Structure 1
Amino acid sequence: MSDAAWPAPPQGSCTLPASVEAEVAILGAGIHGAALARELTLRGVTCALVDKGEVGGGTSQWSSQLLHGGIRYMLTGDIRQMREGLAERATWARIAPRRCRWEAFWMPHRYWAEGLAHRVGIGLYDHWGAERPGWPAGLSLGHVPKEAFLADPRGVLGPFRGATAYADLMTWDRELTRDLAASSEAMLLDFHEPEGFEQGDGGLKLLHLRDRRDGSARQLRARRWVFALGPWTDGAMAQWFGETRKRLRLSSGIHLWFDAVPGCERPWAIRRPKGRILFVVPRDGLLQVGTTEREVEDGWVPILEAEREELFGALEANLPSLPWREMLVWAEELGVRPLVAATGATTHLSREAVLERHARIPNLTLVLGGKLTTARALMDRLATDLTGLRCEASTTAPLRLWDGQAAEIR
């Protein structure tokens, strides 16, 4: 695991005692770990949330920042996964309205038959995703009028002849993860480095931790353990338990942030070869574009120059009216998606998740794969399995805001 993924901790120290205990210990304070902490709290179960960095500070802050059903699943035929995502999209709109924003995405087409296929497929997508709490009355879906399409700078000079609009939900993934943690009563052990486990007949008993802020030692005891480590799972299992089996394959994608372009008001989703989608999204006063995709070996990797070049080439081929190479790049990100291991190209691997009960450690569950949109539903299922308790409030209870964030609600 590269240390470059873990920035230096802040000043100060943890106020918890040197020895703490919880019913469930969660390692990994990304979207899945934070969602599980909320689910356990809703069920009245004590838990501890442990991370080497900060809450939402890893790959959960470098996603596409979309809560979506997966328009690409219309192309792959994975209708079940798409409909699950659409249902969860509505749940997020209910429980986190201050961290979500509905948008009408434009998917452009190059010729008449492609436009017809888009209208049929997108029509089904919006029909199955008709539950849209808080949908703005000013946004329209379906066929984009020609005058509106040509008024967008991206609609001229390029290969596209029109577009179809579909609904999806944009979010701020880091803030959403933090709000999930704030909606729990978990003992937060952020900036804590795991140094070793003690095991007994029933599995894991105790974890030795080192506070990265002041170097102090801490012990965590728990009856059940969940590793929600995202792309770092395989490396951690090798380091802590000497396991060499690869459970995941990692797929990276990059995002570049440009100056905003006048007239580019709607987010675009452009179909590319191999089932990929090129997003060009105006947000937060900038223009976000991405993503390319390659398989990587670590949970944090640098962006390759070839990836930037491939993305610039795609932008120039599809949207030649904008001077992409002359525009200032304000920021660039590379997110790594953990995909459940299988053969074939990562572009064709499912984004579904697996909850694996460890074969040798009976009180350990691993969260493998998954995505932002369905994290709550997956952790609802895991919490029910761990506790035997269902919780209807999971889909309705509003999230609390992370401390200090109230003035930054968008």
Structure 2
Amino acid sequence: MTDSPWPAPPQGTCGLPPALEVEVAILGAGIHGAALARELTLRGVSCALVDRGEVGGGTSQWSSQLLHGGIRYMLTGDIRQMREGLAERATWARIAPHRCRWEAFWMPHRFGLEGLAHRIGIGLYDHWGAERPGWPPALHLGHVPRAAFEADPRSIQGPFRGATAYADLMTWDRELTRDLAASSGALRLDFHEPEGFEDAGASLKALRLRDRRDGTARRLAARRWVFALGPWTDGAMAQWFGESRKRLRLSSGIHLWFDAVPGCERPWAIRRPKGRILFVIPRDGMLQVGTTEREVDDGWVPILEAERAELFEALGACLPAIPWRSLPVRAEELGVRPLVAAGGVTTHLSREAVLERHARFQNLTLVLGGKLTTARALMDHLATDLTGIRCEASRTEPLRLWDGQPAEIR
């Protein structure tokens, strides 16, 4: 965990005193840490949100930017995980309409039998996900009319003969994470470097911190601790406590951003081998494509040329009418997914999350794995476990905007 990959802190100071005390200290200001801060605030519990970078500045800003049920789970048979995601998708649409936008995604098919399978499977997906607050009536689901499909340049000269439309929710993940933090009363200790813990044998007592902006030392005391460090969990546990156990394996996916292509109005989700999905999504005046996947060792890794080549090859094979290799790449990003090992071993990986009570420090919980869509539900569960207080408002209370501006639905 070297300091070099982390962005330099901005100018300014924190303004908090050198000695701080809260009920719950949260390390990691990504989607899970920010969601937990909101959950604790809704329950009237004091907390602090600590990060060596900025809120939402790590892997939470490089997700697929979708709040979805997981259409790929229909293919793998993980119906329970899919239905959980669909229920949470509706919750996000209620509490963060200013950061969400419903879309009709097209899944193209190559031949008639595949098209029939899509219509059946996607029909179930939309049936189970029928709760769609704020759904635009102009968007149509199900069979895509041939004229509409053939008018899209992605259909020209390609292997696809038609498409089926399904509903999913697009978001802006970094802004959503920041809104969660803004909706909490947490003491915000972003750009703070952890320098060491104080413990009482079986429990953590306090954390010594150094403000990366001006070098100010601070001490944070808490009764309970939660590490929501995402892909940096194993490295942090090795650095802070000398632990060699690997709780996660990391999978990366890349996104490339091109100029908008005229006629590409609907997002496409293309089935690929091994259950992967190739997304081609018009958004924010550009065209986003991704992802490929590889196993990596850290949360900060570069994009390999082989990854770009594989993605361009897939685009050329699926959507040959668009000259992908001659289009300038306006931006590229690589997101790292922390995959938790099922049953404590890394031979079987899962997109599900695990809340692990630390074996030595009984007041420490580790958030392992998880994904953007179900982060709120997972942290609702954790906050209830930590405090003994249930909170129905978690599913209905609108988020406050990070910048304090009036909410604007995109």
On whether the aligned pair clears a TM of 0.5, the verdict is yes
CA distance in 2 between counterparts of 1:255 and 1:136 reads 27
Q: Is the 8 A contact 2:206 2:220 kept in 1?
A: yes
Q: Cα distance 1:2–1:274, how it changes in 2: closer, same or farther (>3 A)? A: farther
Q: Cα distance 1:324–1:295, how it changes in 2: closer, same or farther (>3 A)? A: same
What's the counterpart of residue 307 of structure 2? 307
What's the counterpart of residue 107 of structure 1? 107
What's the counterpart of residue 284 of structure 2? 284
Q: Is the 8 A contact 1:118 1:164 kept in 2?
A: yes
Q: CA deviation at 1:404?
A: 5.2
Q: CA deviation at 1:156?
A: 1.1
Q: CA deviation at 1:155?
A: 1.0
Correspondences of 1:208-357 after superposition (within 5 Å): 208-342=208-342, 349-357=349-357
SS at structure 1 position matched to 2:292: coil
CA distance in 1 between counterparts of 2:184 and 2:140 reads 37
Q: Cα distance 1:171–1:368, how it changes in 2: closer, same or farther (>3 A)? A: same
Q: Is the 8 A contact 1:276 1:347 kept in 2?
A: no
**Equivalent pairs: percent with the same residue?**
85
Q: Deviations over 1:214-243 (max 9, x none)?
A: 011000000000000000000000000000
What's the counterpart of residue 155 of structure 1? 155
Q: Deviations over 1:295-353 (max 9, x none)?
A: 0011110000000000000000000000001111110000000000259xx99832100
Q: Is the 8 A contact 1:5 1:58 kept in 2?
A: no
Q: CA deviation at 1:5?
A: 3.7
Q: CA deviation at 1:406?
A: 4.5
Q: Is the 8 A contact 1:275 1:347 kept in 2?
A: no
| Amino acid of the structure 1 residue aligned with 2:26 | I
Q: Cα distance 1:124–1:229, how it changes in 2: closer, same or farther (>3 A)? A: same
CA distance in 2 between counterparts of 1:407 and 1:91 reads 17
| Amino acid of the structure 1 residue aligned with 2:236 | A
Q: Is the 8 A contact 2:32 2:228 kept in 1?
A: yes
Q: Is the 8 A contact 1:2 1:300 kept in 2?
A: no
Unmatched runs of 5 consecutive residues or more in structure 2: none
CA distance in 2 between counterparts of 1:316 and 1:202 reads 57
Q: Is the 8 A contact 1:339 1:369 kept in 2?
A: yes
SS at structure 2 position matched to 1:167: strand
Q: CA deviation at 1:27?
A: 0.1
Q: Cα distance 1:73–1:245, how it changes in 2: closer, same or farther (>3 A)? A: same
| Amino acid of the structure 2 residue aligned with 1:381 | H
What's the counterpart of residue 165 of structure 1? 165
CA distance in 1 between counterparts of 2:139 and 2:398 reads 25
CA distance in 2 between counterparts of 1:406 and 1:18 reads 34
CA distance in 2 between counterparts of 1:113 and 1:349 reads 31
Q: Does 1:363 align with 2:363?
A: yes
Q: Deviations over 1:34-76 (max 9, x none)?
A: 0000000000000000000000000000000000000000111
What's the counterpart of residue 137 of structure 1? 137
Q: Cα distance 1:260–1:166, how it changes in 2: closer, same or farther (>3 A)? A: same
Q: Does 1:37 align with 2:37?
A: yes
SS at structure 2 position matched to 1:311: helix
| Amino acid of the structure 2 residue aligned with 1:253 | G
Q: Is the 8 A contact 2:98 2:408 kept in 1?
A: no
CA distance in 2 between counterparts of 1:293 and 1:384 reads 35
Q: Does 1:200 align with 2:200?
A: yes
| Amino acid of the structure 2 residue aligned with 1:301 | V
CA distance in 1 between counterparts of 2:404 and 2:123 reads 41
Q: Deviations over 1:261-286 (max 9, x none)?
A: 01000000000001100000000000
CA distance in 1 between counterparts of 2:120 and 2:165 reads 12
CA distance in 1 between counterparts of 2:409 and 2:396 reads 20
| Amino acid of the structure 2 residue aligned with 1:11 | Q
Q: CA deviation at 1:3?
A: 3.5
What's the counterpart of residue 393 of structure 2? 393
Q: CA deviation at 1:131?
A: 0.1
SS at structure 1 position matched to 2:71: coil
Q: Cα distance 1:286–1:128, how it changes in 2: closer, same or farther (>3 A)? A: same
Unmatched runs of 5 consecutive residues or more in structure 1: none
Q: CA deviation at 1:403?
A: 2.2
Measured on the aligned residues, the alpha-carbon RMSD in Å equals 1.5
Q: Is the 8 A contact 2:100 2:409 kept in 1?
A: no
What's the counterpart of residue 77 of structure 2? 77
Q: CA deviation at 1:137?
A: 0.5
Q: 4+ residue stretches of structure 1 with deviation over 6 A?
A: none
